[in-house]
Amino acid sequence: MTDKTVPDKMVLVVDDEPAIHRFLAPVLELEGYAVRRADTGRQALDAMAEAPADIVVLDLGLPDMDGKAVLAEIRRTRTTPVVILSARDREAEKIEALDLGANDFVNKPFGVGELLARLRAALRQRTSEPESPVITTGDLEIDLARHRVLKAGKDVRLARKEFDLLALLARNAGTVLTHRQLLSTIWGDEHQGDTQYLRVYVGQIRQKLGDDGEVRLIVTEPGVGYRFRDLG
């Protein structure tokens, strides 16, 4: 039985392919979502102005305007979670969309389970309680106020930048953060291009956390950035 964690949420699906709407609408409704449809960017923006959705599934290849322009317009006034669903799989496209404020990016063709999980993660981040000083997931505990990390009850010693990087990822669990976003936030704008530097730090954190299994807590989005796995 499916765990309907987001009942009665409104999702706006923006795509010019009728087959996508025919396929997604019943799937989303079965999960407890109310579904609205937009076939163009203009329809999407009009729909958001009339009755804002709780979350948006947005294609980039729309007939009247680029999906990234739709995303940028939404981000001018709203923090509504936006999950990109697109056949465009170039890294540059993903990075640009994420830097513009998309919460996640799912490639077409896609698995329904993956898309639903990404939607739930984006909504949980949006509707979560005010930030707790302690983030707990599985046997990992991150105390933001005391700058302390426990793994299975044992202290994990992290350097200051390692802790700051782990905390930033954990606070945005389920959302892809680009290399540029991470580097700029932790090290400053002058380090936006130091992706190798970032990989070294992520590797050090993984080693100290023992995050080396098949299902990693810190997920690499190749060529794009990293995502802290949301264990719900």
The CATH architecture that domain 134-228 belongs to is Orthogonal Bundle (1.10)
Q: What percent of the chain has pLDDT over 70?
A: 92
Q: What is the pLDDT of residue 126?
A: 63
CB-side exposure of 79: number of CA atoms within 13 Å? 5
Distance CA 182, CA 30 (A): 36
Q: Spell out the domain ranges in the chain.
A: 10-127, 134-228
Q: Above 80 in pLDDT, residue 226?
A: yes
Q: CATH homologous superfamily of domain 10-127? A: Response regulator (3.40.50.2300)
**What are the pLDDT digits (tens) for 86-121?**
887 677 888 888 888 899 988 888 889 989 988 988
Name the token pair of 136: 């707990």
Sign of the C-alpha dihedral, residues 52, 41, 71, 45? negative
Global pTM? 0.69
Distance CA 27, CA 49 (A): 25
